[in-house]
Amino acid sequence: MEMERITLEYDSVLAVARDLKAVGAVNSLPARARGLPGRHRWQRMTDAYERFRRGGVLPATWEVVYGHAWKVPPKRLADGRQVIDFSPKALR
């Protein structure tokens, strides 16, 4: 497993929200609010996010996790036949 953090910079909260929507990000918490936020809730979220503005931009940090896996070759085919590997061993 590998992980890296990537910080992107945005001009507005709306630009952050559009990027989140474009990548399919969702709030998966069971207790999340359903439906679209009203004007008051959106304004409260925007005001809270604006506190992070530095140098005229808003940061958004993404944590990207990479996982690598290899599947073992099958010992039997789908029809039940045994797979036997007859490849020669390397000479010593």
pLDDT of 50 > 80? The answer is: yes
pLDDT of the residue at 40: 93
92 band by pLDDT with thresholds 50, 70 and 90: low
Cα 27 from Cα 20, distance rounded (Å): 11
Short-list 45, 35, 38, 39, CA closest to 13: 45
Three-state DSSP at 47 gives: helix
pLDDT of the residue at 81: 87
pLDDT of the residue at 53: 96
91 band by pLDDT with thresholds 50, 70 and 90: low
